[in-house]
Amino acid sequence: MRVKTAPDPDSAATLAEFSDFLLQIGEGRYPVNRDIDESDICIPKTMCVGTSGCGNAWRAGESSDEDSEYEFPNFALLPPIMSVSERESDDDCRTRNVNALIDSVYPGVEGADLPDEYFVNRAILTPTNASFRRINELVAERLSGETREYRSNDSLDGPGDQNLFETEFLNSLKFSGMPPQIMVLKAGTPIIMIRNLNSDEWLCNGTRLRVVSLHEKCIDATIMSGTRRGQRVFIPRIVFLSDDEDKEFPFTLRRKQFPVVPAFAMTINKAQGQSIHNVGIYLESPVFVHGQLYVALSRVSSRKAIKIAIDSRAFDDSGAAHTKNIVYREIFQ
């Protein structure tokens, strides 16, 4: 937990309340709505961006006092209530909620010459890889500059028949912890290492960097945090082997690709151990493992540095936002 020191008594009370809120979430003591689900909770509206049924809008909350040059905006994100016939499809509603969250966490991201601190101090967290990839694509589209597409070299590992499976099929496979077959990057994009490459150079799993320039055989980037902050590094492609624990496929995939992914958004699990000043949490689907919601909420040091977007179907008739907080309380007994 990263609750900061209070400068005055009023702030101390607010921070104490936030600290207690985090402990209640982490220990499973936060009130649940058992009529709905054993793990169902209501998210405080002051933390939310988005709508009830894609209709009710409220203010995004106070601006963060962290990184004040790029504060969370304080404005109504969505229009007044619409009639049922005017309401958007679920896909349109999700897109609006995602874009509202991006606007809140990454204000002015379209601008040129943003400092590294702008990106290292903010991120959007989500439970699933699908949402993580989607948000990264949406934010990247807002950046100016030309894109470069990198395609992996995919094959079967070992002496098996390499012609047994079509290359297109191998290209389509996605495994946890493995980069995508097609990676699209721009200069200025924040990226995160997904493998340990060189610990002496601080190129470790979880290190956040920013792209300086893109080349055919390497990525030129600078480290954005830690003791090597500002250091220039060159990242090559490496070989990944699929870890198919469920034995869904009768082979091991060999993929040669860069050991990075864009880091506008990251999965909640990937964010463990990181301190981030401004956090957006996208819950298109609820968390699904023990302690995951606590990990997401506790990346920041104050309550007003969090913004949450929840699927429109998670709102009840009163406008309250519902999600799950999965905690195995037996662990604490």
Q: Do residues 308 and 43 lie in contact, with contact meaning Cβ atoms separated by under 8 Å? A: yes
What is the full DSSP assignment across 311-328? Answer: -GGGB-TT--EEEE----
Helix %, strand %, coil % of the chain (to 5): 25, 25, 45
Distant-in-sequence, close-in-space partners of 105: CB < 8 Å, separation ≥ 6: 72, 122, 123, 124, 278, 279, 280, 307
Cα separation of 210 and 190, whole Å?
A: 4
Cα separation of 265 and 298, whole Å?
A: 16
Structure tokens belonging to residue 72:
């969370």
Q: Which residues of the chain have pLDDT under 70?
A: 1-7, 50-90, 160, 244, 246
The strand order across the sheet containing 253-257 reads: 153-156, 253-257, 238-241
- Amino acid at residue number 177: G
Dihedral sign, CA of 80, 85, 88, 91?
A: positive
- Phi, psi (rounded to 5 degrees) for 163: -95, 5
Whether this prediction's pTM lies above 0.75 is answered by yes
Residue 149: its pLDDT value, please? Answer: 97
Residue 82: its pLDDT value, please? Answer: 36
- Indicate the pairing of strand 306-310 with strand 48-49: parallel
Whose structure tokens read 């799950």? 324
Residue 301: its pLDDT value, please? Answer: 86
In the chain, beta strands by DSSP E: 40-43, 48-49, 51-52, 56-57, 122-126, 147-151, 153-156, 182-186, 190-193, 208-214, 218-223, 232-236, 238-241, 253-257, 260-262, 265-267, 278-283, 306-310, 321-324
Structure tokens belonging to residue 76:
């109504």
